[in-house]
């Protein structure tokens, strides 16, 4: 079965490649939802990214995903600019937040949607550390204004849950779900 990633995220692409999956990338423009309960927004966006690609490729398995960073009920999306990123990082400093990735797997008329949540605690950051991290350029295309797989990992004190989920896809859970479609990421004897 052909696998199609309906995401522009270089991090999701890299994760699938890291675990040896063969796939294509196809992204179609969609209007993302931005208001409502955080989990419902992420679910709607994950499905919205996958559905038009699936309609054009009815025999393929299409993977759409959306990752949200939530602190105190506030969704921290991708920062608009440097000042927005600075505020987000200050808000996260010394605190624990949740990173939830919703994955939508669409095959023909079948839709399988699941989510994974990881708790991430930031160290107490100085203004200088925030400025230094902003200077790396990493924060600007990432929810919550950080990437745990890069310099942003230096801001993290601890995580509870799946590391890969924070990067962009909960790979252990995805491996289980893909098995239902005959795709084995870790072949067994």
Active site residues: 66
For the CA atoms of the chain, what is the radius of gyration?
Answer: 17
Quick one: DSSP state of residue 38?
Answer: H
Q: State the burial class of residue 84 (Cβ atoms within 10 Å of its Cβ: 0-12, 13-18, 19+).
A: middle
CA distances from 27 to 4, 53, 70, 111, 125 (A): 9, 7, 26, 18, 36
Separation between Cα atoms, residue 32 and residue 52, nearest integer Å: 13
Give the number of other Cβ atoms within 10 Å of residue 77's Cβ.
Answer: 18
121: which strand partners? 96, 158
């Amino acid at each position: 079965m052909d696998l199609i990633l309906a995401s522009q995220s270089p991090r999701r692409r890299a994760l699938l490649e890291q675990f040896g999956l063969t796939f294509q990338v196809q992204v179609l423009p969609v209007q993302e939802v931005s208001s409502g309960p955080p989990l419902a927004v992420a679910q709607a966006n994950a499905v919205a990214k996958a559905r038009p690609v699936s309609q054009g490729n009815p025999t393929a398995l299409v993977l759409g995903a959306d990752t949200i960073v939530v602190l105190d009920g506030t969704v921290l999306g991708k920062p608009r600019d440097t000042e927005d990123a600075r505020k987000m990082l200050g808000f996260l400093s010394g605190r624990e937040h949740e990173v939830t990735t919703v994955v939508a797997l669409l095959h023909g008329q079948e839709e399988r949607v699941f989510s994974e949540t990881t708790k991430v605690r930031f160290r107490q950051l100085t203004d200088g550390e925030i400025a230094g991290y902003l200077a790396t350029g990493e924060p600007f295309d990432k929810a919550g204004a950080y990437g745990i797989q890069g310099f942003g990992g230096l801001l993290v004190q601890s995580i509870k849950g799946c590391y890969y989920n924070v990067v962009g896809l909960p790979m252990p859970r995805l491996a289980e779900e893909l098995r239902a479609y005959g795709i084995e990421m870790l072949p067994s004897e």
